[in-house]
Amino acid sequence: MYKVLIVEDEADIRNLIDETMKKRGYETFTAGDGYEALRLLSRTSADIVVSDIMMPHLDGLSLVKEIRKTSNIPVIFLSARNDDVDKIWGLGIGADDYVVKPVNINELVARIEAQLRRTKIYDGYCTIISENIQLGEFILDEDKCEITLDGKEIKLLAKEFKLLAYFLKNPDKVVTKKQLYKQVWDDEYYFDDNTITVTISRLRSKIENKDRKYIYTIRGLGYKFKVDVRIV
């Protein structure tokens, strides 16, 4: 049974999500702010977190920053703000999805279940693949579900790992954002341009610097992953 942590200071919304998920067979925990959520997470595990952004005491953005210090569990933000800047900021600090209030409970449930499905696919990813890849200074060790750069493991979130693994398997090819979304997020219905852009940006920050560039934006088409030296 999946465990869902619901963090929301508005009781009506919190109760609606709680009751809906329980009816669908999920185990739920609820918190009214970020500090209460962290206390719950210190005592029990969760498979996914659904969190409001604007909350008293400790807001959703700060909560995700704390969660990401120790965990890669999926996080879905709820927010009354629909600005692209807010979505990009939320996704940029480590959230996996962003739902705008007023909450359409059926859409939220679909997004929760999609995130859990993708997490399950990621958890099984390393057990169904067996071929290692060495591409320039990168090594994808699929037995360990690990990617190294210059011999050092890169600390990646689940979607960053799948994205980089896909790039390493498809070097020098132009891939569209929709192709990446299908491969990495396993979902075409909820395609979100911002999600792709922010995840690419996070991945770049972990593997690129002023002397190294691997991910090239092909304007109007998508992206290309290029490593200058390929080792076979």
Return the number of other C-beta atoms located less than 10 Å from residue 118's C-beta: 19
Sign of CA dihedral 19, 118, 53, 81: negative
Report the share of the chain in percent with pLDDT over 70. 87
Residue 78: what are its φ and ψ, rounded to 5°? -115, 135
User: What distance in Å separates the CA atoms of residue 167 and residue 44, rounded to the nearest whole number?
Assistant: 36
Query: What are the pLDDT digits (tens) for 38-65?
Result: 999 999 899 999 999 999 989 998 999 8
Q: Where in the chain are the domains?
A: 3-123, 130-225
The CATH class for the domain spanning 130-225 reads: mainly alpha
Arithmetic mean of pLDDT, 108-121: 81
Strand duo 48-52 + 75-79: pairing: parallel
Question: Which residue bears the tokens 């750069």?
Answer: 149
Strand duo 152-153 + 146-149: pairing: antiparallel
Query: What are the pLDDT digits (tens) for 91-107?
Result: 777 888 888 899 899 99
pTM as predicted: 0.63
Task: Kindly tell me if the per-residue pLDDT of 232 is higher than 80.
Answer: no
Which pLDDT does position 11 carry in this prediction?
95
Strands (E), the chain: 3-7, 27-31, 48-52, 75-79, 97-100, 133-135, 138-141, 146-149, 152-153, 174-175, 215-218, 222-225
CATH fold of 3-123 reads Rossmann fold (3.40.50)
* 133 class by beta-carbon count within 10 Å (0-12 exposed, 13-18 middle, 19+ buried): middle
Could you give the C-alpha distances from 38 to 70, 108, 186, 223, in angstroms and in order? 12, 22, 30, 37
Arithmetic mean of pLDDT, 69-73: 83
